[in-house]
Structure 1
Amino acid sequence: MMKIELTGKQSLVTGSTAGIGLAIAQGLAEAGASVTIVGRDQAKVDKALAEIANASGRDDAKGIIADPGTAEGCRTIIEQLPEVDVLVNNLGIYGGVPFFDIDDAAWEEIFQVNVMSGVRLARHYATGMKARGWGRIQFISSESALNIPSEMVHYGVSKAALQGVSRGLAKVLAGTGVTVNSILPGPTRTEGAKAMMADLAAERGVSPEAMETLFLDENRPSTLLRRFAEPEEVASLCVYAASPQASATTGAALRVEGGIVESIA
């Protein structure tokens, strides 16, 4: 049985007070890593830290109050945590908007939050990882990077950009002992997704559970999983990619999207 051991490794997960980010932070803590989470709201950070402690049986996780979607927020994170061994760039925003209604401000915002947050943090932390000869950098992308959704083109484009950054940075760090990968979840039962399904369910007069099935049938008909993933299922792949056992996996787009993408590659 594979035993992932990350004791002694310092990890940072952005967008980690709920959903996939929180599940990743919990998984890393359970594997022994020291975990720092990031959020903009103190109460949400405190609640997430309590959940991590409950899941891992440890109380050493730390929280930073900052907005990584801004240059100032990234500076705050770096000042409070100068070095990490595992960086998971999970922060992301999304929302259905018709293409002709996506104005310049919306394009700029999603690029700053979804792309530049990861670029800024990776640019800093990769330097120390390279010097130490070990590190793990992950960019949480999406199957929407490969199947650009017509209802939120700007989101899909931002996630495709992340994969470009990930592949390019992996080349920059070739042979250093630092791996860089992107992770591609599909529809996942996060708080945000559950809220969206509840709203759609109310409009359609069905239950939220039935709405998930309808959503997949109508928007992701190629799914092989045929259900929403749980955040912990995505986190399991992220924890493996952060592990010493994943040392030969770099420059990859690792899919945990339930087979939605119509490709054998």
Structure 2
Amino acid sequence: MRLNHVSAIVTGAAGGIGRAVVRALLESGAKVLATDIDDARLQGLKDSLAPDHHARLRLMRADLGDAGSPPRLLDGAEQAFGQANAVVNSSGLGRAIYTRDLLTDPPPVWDIDFSAWHSMFDANTMSPIRLINAAVRRFRAGEWGRVITITTSLDHMLANGSGPYGPSKAALEAYTSILARELSGSGITANVLVPGGTVDTPMVPDIPNLSRESLLSPDVMIPPLQWLLSRDADGVTCRRIRANLWDTALPPEAAYQAASAPAGWWDLAAGQQRRPRMPAT
């Protein structure tokens, strides 16, 4: 699937999923500004890519927690490629920042230090929102754009030991759902993409009784991601897509229908809205 029309900012680009995203976008003809917090890892990403893709790649170190980073990234993409019209957010922190033994000894929510809550919400919620808000303001001038937030499956949001991780991802999904509806008809879509299981990335530590062979490959994200960025997905917005349910043997539209649901629990909200309001007491 060709994506020559796409100029994307990919966050968390040096991580496991981010690397897969950058490689796939470049192979599809897209232009990519890859950003991460570590220069050495960004250079490692570039070194891992085919040299003929380097002309459509820019690297930029950025701390997304810094309010000055979003305009700098957007300016960098515009200077390099003439525009930015997509954001793929794959940055964030995992549960390993507060536990190394999630499977056998998940920490109760009340015992997780509040510093982990601050770190998790800053990295997984506030930083992506800061960049996306800045990007959307510019996308609106071009009347076309894509926002794809990579979050986590509902069972991971709610699992024992998910402490600040689950709520931080849930907040980002709720934001994406609100964003999508407020952008309706603008030509800009906003969707959530989740792996559908634990992905084999450096974010996942070696845990007793965990077989890494049982984990999903980061490449599971690529077919739905490419389709969401394509013009075939114009008008597809406010959806959560589970990548491991995407059947590449099907036509993309059929695969999308089988793998998607409303983002941000709008199916539940719609049912709630139909209920009669209780009188105030």
Q: Does TM, normalized by the shorter one, top 0.5?
A: yes
Against the structure 1 CA distance between its residues 145 and 114, is the aligned structure 2 distance closer, same or farther, given a 3 Å change threshold?
farther
Within 5 Å, give how 1:219-234 maps onto structure 2.
Answer: 227-234=214-221
d(CA) in 1 for partners of 2:68 and 2:112? 25
Residue 149 of structure 1 corresponds to which residue in structure 2?
159
Q: Are 1:93 and 2:93 an aligned pair?
A: yes
d(CA) in 2 for partners of 1:264 and 1:183? 9
Against the structure 1 CA distance between its residues 172 and 52, is the aligned structure 2 distance closer, same or farther, given a 3 Å change threshold?
farther
Against the structure 1 CA distance between its residues 70 and 104, is the aligned structure 2 distance closer, same or farther, given a 3 Å change threshold?
farther
Residue 239 of structure 1 corresponds to which residue in structure 2?
226
Against the structure 1 CA distance between its residues 113 and 143, is the aligned structure 2 distance closer, same or farther, given a 3 Å change threshold?
same
Residue 211 of structure 2 corresponds to which residue in structure 1?
211
Q: Given the alignment, which residue of 69, 77, 80 partners 2:65?
A: 69
AA at the equivalent of 1:70? D
Report the more deviating stretch, 94-103 or 172-181: 94-103
Using the aligned pairs only, state the percent identity.
27
d(CA) in 2 for partners of 1:143 and 1:19? 17
Q: Are 1:160 and 2:170 an aligned pair?
A: yes
**Contact preservation (8 Å) 1:130, 1:173:** no
5+ residue gaps, structure 1:
205-209, 214-226
Structure 1 position 146, deviation (Å): 6.3
The CA RMSD measured in Å over matched residues stands at: 2.3
Q: Given the alignment, which residue of 171, 188, 201 partners 1:178?
A: 188
Report the more deviating stretch, 4-13 or 130-139: 4-13
Structure 1 residue matching 2:64: 3-state secondary structure:
coil
Within 5 Å, give how 1:1-265 maps onto structure 2.
Answer: 4-53=1-50, 57-60=52-55, 61-82=57-78, 83-96=83-96, 97=98, 98=107, 99-144=109-154, 147-185=157-195, 186-193=197-204, 196-197=205-206, 200-201=207-208, 211-212=211-212, 227-257=214-244
d(CA) in 1 for partners of 2:260 and 2:92? 27
**Contact preservation (8 Å) 2:71, 2:134:** no
**Contact preservation (8 Å) 2:193, 2:225:** yes
Give TM-score scaled by structure 1 length.
0.80
Deviations 1:51-105 (A, max 9, x none): 2335xx4112110011113324334423433541110111110125422232332
Against the structure 1 CA distance between its residues 111 and 38, is the aligned structure 2 distance closer, same or farther, given a 3 Å change threshold?
same
**Contact preservation (8 Å) 1:145, 1:160:** no
Report the more deviating stretch, 71-80 or 153-162: 71-80
5+ residue gaps, structure 2:
99-106, 247-258, 262-281
Against the structure 1 CA distance between its residues 6 and 264, is the aligned structure 2 distance closer, same or farther, given a 3 Å change threshold?
closer
d(CA) in 2 for partners of 1:189 and 1:12? 23
Give TM-score scaled by structure 2 length.
0.76
**Contact preservation (8 Å) 2:42, 2:59:** yes
**Contact preservation (8 Å) 1:145, 1:157:** no
Give 1 or 2 for the bigger CA radius of gyration. 2
Structure 1 position 49, deviation (Å): 1.5
